[in-house]
Amino acid sequence: MQTEEILKNPHAVSGRLRLKILEMYYKANAGHIGCSLSCADILIAVLFLHKKEKDTFILSKGHAAASLYASLNWLGEIPDRTLDTYYKEGTSLPAHPGAGHFKGIPFATGSLGHGFPIGSGIAHAAKLSGEDSYAYVVMSDGETNEGTSWEAAHYAIQNKLDNLIVVIDRNGLQGFGYTGDVLGVTADSRKWEAIGMDLAEVDGHDIGALYETIRVMKTRKNGVPKLIMANTVKGKGVSYMEDKMEWHYLPMSAQQYEGAVREISEAYLNELTNA
């Protein structure tokens, strides 16, 4: 699909991607569903609408691997037969992304807090070599608890990496509770802006707004690395998962899967069906 087609009906694209993600988790009887649903729209905006061949994308919140695999399947990089092996013995699609199998997965991630430093290094290398490319990093708000994230930010600022675009999936939940209750609100726009990031805040489920925010940021060649605070809902689109910590871990029963598919289909695909 071309950019214009996606932006014309982003809700339907989001719904279809969500259904694929749910199908993968159900067949694998696996968890980490909530975090994949919270970042699905971000991945559409970055991977479907902005990333070019010469750019690099890193899903730092590697526990949301299914959302990345489903996106790369949509884009034709991961074949259907390979996607069907997700989470199975001998797969190239494990619970967290592993490097060495697909161009769209250049690094193994999921040890949280390390995608930002890797992205900073890639962006700096591009600057030094005179390459006109971007490094995109999608990370969780829980990762902002990690010291390496702040070190990477200072490194990016010091080296004027305006070709680095970081999107924080701020869904307010992490492995053991609400992020504000664990180490405080480290995914605070004011803090990141105060240290020198070029910052924007946006609805992380509004694909059009995400697309436009990234587009505008790419026009600002001001020597300042970019950070987008994307406000999201963990488990977005499935009412019994939304803003519930347990859906960081739980797999779905057959009844739960059927309910989730029905909700997504009714909420996201009705306008396409009725068109």
Q: Does pLDDT of 5 surpass 60? A: yes
Query: Which ranges constitute the DSSP H helices of 9-114?
Result: 10-28, 33-43, 65-74, 80-83
- On whether the CB atoms of residues 77 and 102 are closer than 8 A, the answer is yes
pTM of this prediction? 0.96
Q: Domains of the chain (ranges plus CATH)?
A: 3-273 (3.40.50.970)
- On whether the CB atoms of residues 35 and 171 are closer than 8 A, the answer is yes
For residue range 6-57, list pLDDT tens digits in order. 999 999 999 999 999 999 999 999 999 999 999 999 999 999 999 999 999 9
**How confident is the model at residue 184, as a pLDDT?**
86
Which tokens sit at 162? 């305006």
Q: Does pLDDT of 119 surpass 60? A: yes
For residue range 164-191, list pLDDT tens digits in order. 999 999 999 988 888 889 888 999 999 9
Could you tell me which residues are beta bridge partners of residue 138? 59, 167
